[in-house]
Amino acid sequence: MSFAGCDSLIEIRDLAFAYGRRTVIDGLELDIPRGKVVAILGASGCGKSTLLQIMGGALRPARGRVTVCGRDVHALDREGLYRLRRQIGMMFQKGGLFSDLTVFENVAFPIREHTTLPEPVISDLVKMKLHAVGLRGAHRLFPSELSGGMARRVALARAIALDPDLVIYDEPFAGLDPITLNVICNLIRTLNDALGSTSVVVTYDVPEAVKLADYLYVMGEGRVVGHGPTQEMLDSADPFVRQFLHAQPDGPVPFHFPARPIAEELDLAPPRAARTVPAI
């Protein structure tokens, strides 16, 4: 997999991972080009969130190699992994804000944790990040005082607080109303281009991913089943890709998790033949 004119910020080769006997990722290969917005799509349970944890070093794969920002993630020691994570901003699926800290303190947290900048500089940086997401006036509020959409925007401001090389968004559109969803989508695109960063959006929300991303990966059965520029993927004739991107009910993507036939599970025997009562 190669991208003309740009190198890759993330390279994944022959990745495999399992929870016990259940294989979640098997032989996955993936490249994320610098400066682009890339969406990783797939149905629930296909391994998207597991992939993010492997990329960040929280999980160790059974096989394969993950290179982020030129470094082999799982060859790093604790200190090296900590340094790498300073280059990565993460917007968690449910925001992940600290409930006992104000909006201001939430956004300031990574700056204080990873730098020795003086407080006046930190204050200016936080105000600029909050202004970028339209919430500078909410800096004194606590997470409990925010709507779901506002909390998601604060999480976005915190994710970009250190102007990271890579920003990862885990299901950023889940549970949002149409207006807030559109705002978040536009913010991701605008901030990516303004900061010159690379964005990875992990989602099952096809319409927003198509509108936002330069490049799409579709995951299924623990591997990449299709990838390419957004319009090429929409025009793909691959049955799996076509079914998922166009929400078709019939195709290779199964609805049921693998199991025995329901008749066997419920021990249902075929009905007995009705007894014939002789006529008198």
Give the CATH number for residue 215. Answer: 3.40.50.300
Q: Find the domain containing 35 and state its range.
A: 1-87+165-172+198-246
d(CA 239, CA 260): 25
Q: Do residues 52 and 201 make contact, with C-beta atoms less than 8 angstroms apart?
A: no
Helix/strand number for the chain, H first, E second: 10, 10
Q: Is residue 265 part of a domain?
A: no
* Largest Cα span, the chain: 105
| pLDDT tens figures, 82-97 | 888 888 888 887 668 9
Q: Is residue 226 part of a domain?
A: yes
Q: Is residue 131 part of a domain?
A: no
Domains of the chain: total: 1
Q: Do residues 218 and 43 make contact, with C-beta atoms less than 8 angstroms apart?
A: no
pLDDT at residue 10 above 50? yes
Q: Is residue 29 part of a domain?
A: yes
Q: Is residue 41 part of a domain?
A: yes
Q: Do residues 197 and 163 make contact, with C-beta atoms less than 8 angstroms apart?
A: yes
| pLDDT tens figures, 112-128 | 988 899 999 999 999 99
102 or 57, greater pLDDT = 102
Q: Is residue 152 part of a domain?
A: no
Which residue bears the tokens 């804000």?
97
Alpha-carbon 194 to chain mean position: 21
pLDDT of res. 38: 93
Q: Is residue 271 part of a domain?
A: no
Q: Do residues 61 and 16 make contact, with C-beta atoms less than 8 angstroms apart?
A: yes
Interhelix angle for 119-132 vs 148-159, to 10°? 130
